[in-house]
Structure 1
Amino acid sequence: DLSGGTDKDGKPRVSNLRPGGLAARSDQLNVGDYIKSVNGINLTKLRHDEIISLLKNVGERVVLEVEYELPPAVPESSAGIIPKTIEVSLYKEGNSFGFVLRGGAHEDW
């Protein structure tokens, strides 16, 4: 359950969680989260198709390094958004981890 597309900033991010799927039930992954690495492999320079291939071939378990944005503690604060990184471990259910990923590095023109 992975789909294509490239975000403007090129960072791979979760664009959808399958209702009732493993990722949704884990409560650790949310739409809009950025995936920084898969099983320790940094995704910064990988194209979307390379990331999809990596996810399809990781086996039964995947460890994702996930970055998400925390709103400022004080809404009027000019501190902006604070990135927070967590590690998420998921086991494959059927043939899917239950999330859709968009983005990846832009190919050289």
Structure 2
Amino acid sequence: MNFLNFSTTKLAEIWNEANGWRWPEDLGVKPEGWKAMNIDEQAKILAPITIKIKKMIGEKELLRYHILNLCRTNEEFERWWDTEHKKFLKKILARLLLSRVL
């Protein structure tokens, strides 16, 4: 699938839909039997889409879209990104390092 014609915001919107196990309307007609598929079957179709979009626009833009759609401003997002998000990443990294030591 060619995503080059989509804006960053539209790609984030598509990713958000696909990441929530919903078929993004911008991708056209749902695959045949979509509603009858279980989550594993849907994941095989959606995962390559979400991975490609994340590689194209990055985690920050995906999270910006999500936060802005929670009625936050861009300034609030940047403040969150520079503080809370970095704290979260440090905690995750510390846990990973600790689990490798144990």
TM bracket, shorter-chain basis:
under 0.3
Greater radius of gyration (CA): 2
Using structure 2 for the length normalisation, give the TM-score: 0.21
When you count helix as a share of all residues, which structure comes out higher?
A: 2
When you count strand as a share of all residues, which structure comes out higher?
A: 1
